[in-house]
Structure 1
Amino acid sequence: MPIARLNSRAVITVIGPDARHFLNNLLTQNVETLEAGALRFGALLTPQGRLMLDLFLWGKDDGVWLDVPADARDALVQRLSMYKLRADVQIAASDAGVFVAWDEAPEGFSPDPRLEGLGHRAIGFDGATTASEEDWHAHRAALCVVEAAFDAPKDKIYPIEANFDLMNGIDFHKGCFVGQETTSRMKRRGTIKNRILPFTYDGDAPAVGAEVLNGELRAGEVTSAANGHGMAMMRLDRMDGVLTVDGKPVVVNRPDWVPALPSE
Structure 2
Amino acid sequence: MRPRFLSPLLRPWCRRLSTACFPLAELRGLLRLRGPNPRSFVQGLVTNDAEQLKDGAMYAHLLNVQGRSLYDVLLYSVPEPQGGSHDLLLECDITAMNAIQQHLQVYNFRKKIELRPCPELSIWAVIQEKPDPPVVTPTPPALLCAPDPRGPVMGYRLVAQTGQDIREILSGAKLGNVRDYSRHRYQHGIPEGVKDLPPGEALPLESNLVYMNGVSFSKGCYIGQELTARTHHTGIIRKRLVPVRLSSSLSADCAGMEITTASGKSAGKFRAGVEELGLALLRLAHMKEELRITPGGGAVISVEASVPGWWPSPGDGV
Q: TM-score, normalised by structure 2?
A: 0.77
Name the CA shift for 1:187/1:250 in 2 (closer, same or farther; >3 Å).
same
Q: Distance in 2 between matches of 1:8 and 1:81?
A: 23
* 2:123 equivalent to 1:98: yes
Q: Distance in 2 between matches of 1:259 and 1:233?
A: 19
Residue 288 of structure 2 corresponds to 240
Q: Distance in 2 between matches of 1:242 and 1:151?
A: 23
Residue 252 of structure 1 corresponds to 305
Residue 55 of structure 1 corresponds to 73
Return the letter of the residue paired with 2:157. Answer: R
- Tell me if the contact between 2:182 and 2:274 (Cα under 8 Å) persists in the aligned partners: no
Q: Which runs of 4+ in 1 moved over 3 A?
A: 104-108, 258-261
Q: Distance in 2 between matches of 1:85 and 1:171?
A: 26
Residue 150 of structure 2 corresponds to 114
Aligned length: 260
Q: Distance in 1 between matches of 2:197 and 2:57?
A: 23
Residue 231 of structure 1 corresponds to 279
Please give the per-residue CA displacement for 1:47-94, whole angstroms capped at 9, x wherever unaligned.
111110000000123321101111111222222122112113211111
Return the letter of the residue paired with 1:73. Answer: M
Name the CA shift for 1:16/1:25 in 2 (closer, same or farther; >3 Å).
same
Gaps spanning 5+ residues in structure 1: where? none
Once the two structures are superposed, the pairs formed by residues 125-140 of structure 1 within 5 Å of their partners are 126-128=164-166, 130-140=175-185
Q: Displacement, 1:259?
A: 5.8
Overall identity of the aligned pairs, in %:
26
Name the CA shift for 1:45/1:193 in 2 (closer, same or farther; >3 Å).
same
| TM-align CA RMSD | 2.1
Gaps spanning 5+ residues in structure 2: where? 1-18, 80-85, 136-142, 168-174, 295-299
- Tell me if the contact between 1:236 and 1:260 (Cα under 8 Å) persists in the aligned partners: no
- Tell me if the contact between 2:92 and 2:193 (Cα under 8 Å) persists in the aligned partners: no
SS in 1 for 2:73: strand
Q: Distance in 2 between matches of 1:54 and 1:218?
A: 27
Q: Which of the pair has more CA radius of gyration? A: 2
Q: Distance in 2 between matches of 1:186 and 1:224?
A: 25
Residue 194 of structure 1 corresponds to 239
Q: Distance in 2 between matches of 1:189 and 1:84?
A: 34
Q: Distance in 2 between matches of 1:153 and 1:73?
A: 15
- Of 192-201 and 71-80, deviating more is 71-80
Q: TM-score, normalised by structure 1?
A: 0.92
Return the letter of the residue paired with 1:75. Answer: A
